Amino acid sequence: MKQDFFKISDKVQSASEKAMAKIQPYFKETDEITEYNQQKVLSAFIKNGVSESMFAESTGYGYGDRGREVIDRVMADIMCTDDALVRHNFTCGTHTLAVCLFGMLRPGDVMLCVTGTPYDTIHSVIGINGKGDGSLVDYGVIYKQVDLKDNKPDLEAIREAVSKEKIKLVYIQRSRGYSLRPSLSCEEIGEIAKIVKANSDADIMVDNCYGEFTQTIEPTQVGADVIAGSLIKNAGGGIARTGGYVAGRADLVEKISYRLTTPGLGREVGATLGMSRELFMGIFASPHVVGEAIKTARFTAALFEELGFDTTPKSSDPRFDIVQSVMLENEANLIAFCQGLQKGAPIDSFVTPEPWDMPGYDNKVIMSAGAFTGGASIELSADAPLREPFAVWMQGGLNFHSAKVGILLAAEEMAKRGLI
């Protein structure tokens, strides 16, 4: 049954129909991954006896908060780890990663990033190129990196780097960030981990943002000692309004908890302030929502391939994060895409996004997002720095059928302006 709630031109509608036919076989694969992960999450809830009493609010120091203790165990079971921290106190993904790094590293330690230059907002945390007052480099941590080779981790260079020098922490960024290199599968992370463990005593940390539940395994099952992510991305299911998680080896999670609060208190303090219900619900919903976001990403790739644009990943490629890049070729296309996508948002559809100087970025950035939670990139959003190759990075979609409309309106806006 077709409804004409949104005016979509014949050109865009025709491309949409072809795109849907092209990607339909891949939806079954996504549904199978979603079902596996949803059962894994349900099993963790049942195993740990989650009950309504655990949603109760704690205040002040938050001592003895039962919900806080159980949600940590639930996440540890989901991620197949010894321990976990799930806290609304983590303000964003970058903050969660920063707490991990400061918790695990000490002055004189060497941190080695093996996936090239990391995402823009972590630069000031590390102190790359002198950026960041109070950065890791300011505190005497030595930063090094292994550049990518043909847009992939250079395994031989990684082997050489960890063999010739004492490395304390190997850092892996799973998702692409503002780059066009492919995101990493858990199997690829496992190859890196095997090399690192065979040639050093280094701990391995994975920035798992955007990657949770895209496969039936997580990086901690292939050799990562610690993973971390944001609850307003995949792992919060579009329900958690803030927060982040850390999961991994118990001794490292303990150190990280000391950085989150204070040495000696660690995980034992921190009032939940009535937010436990949302955190539990968000984690429970996340496998399904991630599946919807993956479907949205595939559709975006297929549609814009039909319209003549290059995409990465391609519509037929395996998916290891929820991010979809489209090479829009010029500034006018990029701005039209983001402004059109905004028109399909459930919140603030009337707003017109414009490029601006966003903190933490070196170029003007345009961001399209009409989300129930500010900045929640598990909800449909798109953003891009205004620089070559004028690629847009689109992610999210709480449900495919609504997100599909947003993508169609992005293409329609470009068509209205005579750009396609």
Q: Please give, one letter per residue, the 3-state secondary structure of 24-47.
A: HHHHHHHHHHHHHHHHHHHHHHHH
Record the tokens describing residue 114, joined without a space: 């093996």
pTM higher than 0.85: yes
Q: Is 224 helix (H, G, I), strand (E, B) or coil?
A: coil
* Contact criterion met (CB below 8 Å) for 131 and 138: no
Report the C-alpha gap between 290 and 20 in whole angstroms. Answer: 19
Strands (E), 16-168: 83-87, 110-113, 142-145
Locate the domains of the chain by residue range: 10-39+284-416, 59-273
Strand partners, 391: 327
Report the C-alpha gap between 267 and 270 in whole angstroms. Answer: 7
Report the C-alpha gap between 194 and 349 in whole angstroms. Answer: 47
Q: Which amino acid is at 405?
A: V
What are the CA-CA distances from residue 34 to residues 93, 135, 212, 268, 298 (Å)? 23, 38, 11, 34, 15
Q: Is 334 helix (H, G, I), strand (E, B) or coil?
A: helix
Peptide bond into 346 cis (omega under 30): no
Q: Which residues of the chain have pLDDT under 70?
A: 1-3, 360-361
Sorted by sequence, the CB contacts under 8 Å of residue 146 that are 6+ apart come out as: 112, 113, 114, 115, 116, 153, 154, 157, 158, 161
Number of other residues whose CB lies within 10 A of the CB of residue 45: 18
Q: Which amino acid is at 3?
A: Q
- Give residue-wise pLDDT tens across range 232-262: 999 999 999 999 999 999 999 999 999 999 9
Report the C-alpha gap between 190 and 196 in whole angstroms. Answer: 10
pLDDT at 389: 86
Looking at domain 59-273, its CATH class is alpha beta
Report the C-alpha gap between 381 and 235 in whole angstroms. Answer: 16
Distance of alpha carbon 266 from the chain centroid: 25
Record the tokens describing residue 11, joined without a space: 């050109």
* Contact criterion met (CB below 8 Å) for 185 and 148: no
The CATH number of 10-39+284-416 is 3.90.1150.60
